[in-house]
Structure 1
């Protein structure tokens, strides 16, 4: 049975690495779901253990903020925010700074992936209207969304998982992450502005948009009432997370339920914007990782590494391993693998910062990166891996260095 579990685990994580499996029409979610079904159907994970393997508070929190983000998307808030930025009389570097601040702020409260999905197409049109090269702005959007999402325990899926599993204090984590995130955003602006200096303007005519694509004349219009509803619920929840010792998942579910009880926005439209594939991915990974943990092999591997001087319970090895795994199999599965060794008080913030900031290194390191690249491609703007790495690599290394230094100093001061 152990051989079967290990085989399924390796195939699932190979699929996570490759984005699918050779000769099969499966994406990452399909591979994970197939692996989970194989474990449950073979009764390797008995049906009565499935719900014990799945961490429901994480799923509830993730689902709830998907509903809140859907409210803001349908209200046109994200597109309106970018459009307002584009109408400000700012120099190109100042516009870049404003974009980074807005993208990071929104991503700290809402999902970084959703922020990029809604903002990227409008940002392209803003840049083309102003005769600005969209590439530095698009890459800054992805980097800022990733860095900004590290500021809170609701900014991205892996932070939700870490916060709920380790029962981290929302306020205490915010205090730990705020300074490295703010410094990281300043450094991100400096790197992009420095690398783009003197080359802000387009040198050629912008590509003509396909007829089915939205252009500047067809941006989402702002529905003030629906946007205010979504922002109000998000603000109340954020304050509740800071000051009220109730379970975050239950408060978030109450907020999502409030938004679903609408006289004008049909629940079908809101639930249609929920990322069900991501929820299925989480469920499948919970089951696959639970099966592997039951074999005892991960604990044996951790003990064997410790005898060789690599103790994953210690902050430095955990930080490095989180960075490497996040770029091999993506940050959510990397965090799921490493949570059992997150026993040090600093391990939760360390995992959240390192796994999130690692996502800027390569295009495949973060879904937010892929969303931005695809939005640019639909408008005829090509960003290859070299173009992304030119900004992504220095931003990643700089922000990780800042985070590592901040965590080390925090430990020294606490000691």
Structure 2
């Protein structure tokens, strides 16, 4: 590697250590690392701001901004309070039942929408329902984020890396349903059982206090939580149109980011709310953190670091489909834990395309695409910055005054990632190899 490449690695590693140890705020670490890469010429303005493969992914930033605007308007209708009371009543105030409901809803919604949008919608409900039943919100939010990355793997639109893979491999919506959804269904069942052990401390509440809270919750009327019926109807119509457009985006020839921002700005206009108040709820620090992270990863891409790693791996396993599949699965999980899985997949997918071509385009070689998708999607759970949904959730928790540290998230995420990737090994081997 060149001197610039080593310098890029050093800056990225230093920023990652600062984020992981929380010696400085993660936003300062990400933006500081990005600034150094720009000042030292590792990357430049053209690459950082305008390159599709080595710069800020504006599609992700704008998609998040649009959905944050929609969620900000929805918060003012009372919908989240309604859902919080409803779920608490259905679970009869029992913490584990509440977690199961929220986890399953999050996973299913992430498959139908996308995991980032789902986290934006479910997080406010989580804070409210946890306050109602008197339990800490952090374990519940972490459980939901992990479920969102698992559920999002099931469909083409569920996780951003899947969209990149589908475009490069010429795969359709039904391809992901057929090949990914069966594994996700099994993994989700295992994960729900795993939650009982992983988050067991969150379910320990005083029995008398729990009984009192359950009785209190049973007396609540969720319909009274709706503060603005007109705005709720308008918001749900706009959200429904946005979600339908997400599913049909390939037919409509519209990028998800365009759909989200048009929906967000359209709802803001129709809401009759003060725009300044709505915009205050946007997670600007989270968006800035993503921008810094994309610039740093772009520096690794521009200097050829990630490409060299991927090429070396492909050369080592070329011609051995089973070995290539397993290496790709585990390596993707490991690298997606360190680098956000969106830029990682964008960088590695050309290498996988070359491997599939070298295999003569044989149908069995498609296992490499599924190995990449599973590794990147499930591997995103491993650390707090492994997937976009993770970063968004941490930002929401911090704003709500219930901060989640890097290691608080990661100690759960690593366990879930190892177990889910291990479940994928026999699935890939028996079905394709």
TM class, shorter-length: 0.7 to 0.9
CA contact (8 A) 2:371 2:428 kept: yes
Match of 2:90, SS? coil
Distance in 2, Cα, partners of 1:382 & 1:287? 27
Partner of 2:213: none
CA contact (8 A) 1:15 1:28 kept: yes
Partner of 1:318: 328
Distance in 1, Cα, partners of 2:383 & 2:319? 27
1:357 aligns with 2:378: yes
Partner of 1:225: 233
Match of 1:175, SS? helix
Distance in 2, Cα, partners of 1:99 & 1:372? 17
Shift of 1:59: 2.7
- Aligned CA distance change for structure 1 residues 312 and 409 (closer, same or farther; 3 Å): closer
Shift of 1:328: 3.3
Shift of 1:322: 1.4
Shift of 1:270: 5.1
- Aligned CA distance change for structure 1 residues 92 and 21 (closer, same or farther; 3 Å): closer
Partner of 1:277: 288
CA contact (8 A) 1:120 1:375 kept: no
Shift of 1:354: 1.9
CA contact (8 A) 1:123 1:138 kept: no
Unmatched 5+ residue regions in structure 2?
A: 211-219, 357-365
Partner of 1:213: none
CA contact (8 A) 1:35 1:288 kept: no
- Aligned CA distance change for structure 1 residues 383 and 251 (closer, same or farther; 3 Å): closer
1:235 aligns with 2:243: yes
Map 1:3-402 to 2 at 5 A.
3-19=3-19, 27-38=28-39, 42=41, 45=44, 47=46, 51-54=50-53, 59-60=58-59, 62-76=61-75, 77-90=79-92, 93-108=96-111, 109-110=113-114, 111=116, 113-115=119-121, 117-128=123-134, 137-159=140-162, 161-163=164-166, 168-193=171-196, 200-203=203-206, 223-241=231-249, 244=251, 246-249=253-256, 250-252=258-260, 254-256=262-264, 258-269=266-277, 271-272=279-280, 273=282, 275-281=286-292, 283-285=294-296, 287-293=298-304, 300-305=308-313, 308-309=316-317, 314-332=324-342, 334-343=344-353, 344=356, 345-362=366-383, 365=386, 371=393, 375=397, 389=411, 392-402=413-423
Q: More deviation in 55-64 or 91-100? A: 55-64
Shift of 1:385: 5.0
Shift of 1:30: 0.5
Distance in 1, Cα, partners of 2:336 & 2:427? 20
CA contact (8 A) 1:147 1:181 kept: yes
Q: Deviations over 1:149-203 (max 9, x none)?
A: 3233444454455556666533422433222222222111112235678984403
CA contact (8 A) 1:68 1:234 kept: no
Distance in 2, Cα, partners of 1:266 & 1:164? 39
CA contact (8 A) 1:79 1:122 kept: yes
CA contact (8 A) 1:311 1:317 kept: no
- Aligned CA distance change for structure 1 residues 239 and 330 (closer, same or farther; 3 Å): closer
Shift of 1:50: 5.7
- Aligned CA distance change for structure 1 residues 51 and 303 (closer, same or farther; 3 Å): closer
CA contact (8 A) 2:67 2:260 kept: no
Across the aligned residues of Structure 1 and Structure 2, the Cα RMSD in angstroms comes to 4.6
TM-score, length of structure 1 as denominator length? 0.73
CA contact (8 A) 1:100 1:144 kept: yes
Q: Deviations over 1:298-347 (max 9, x none)?
A: 55555545565589993211111112223334544544553442324444
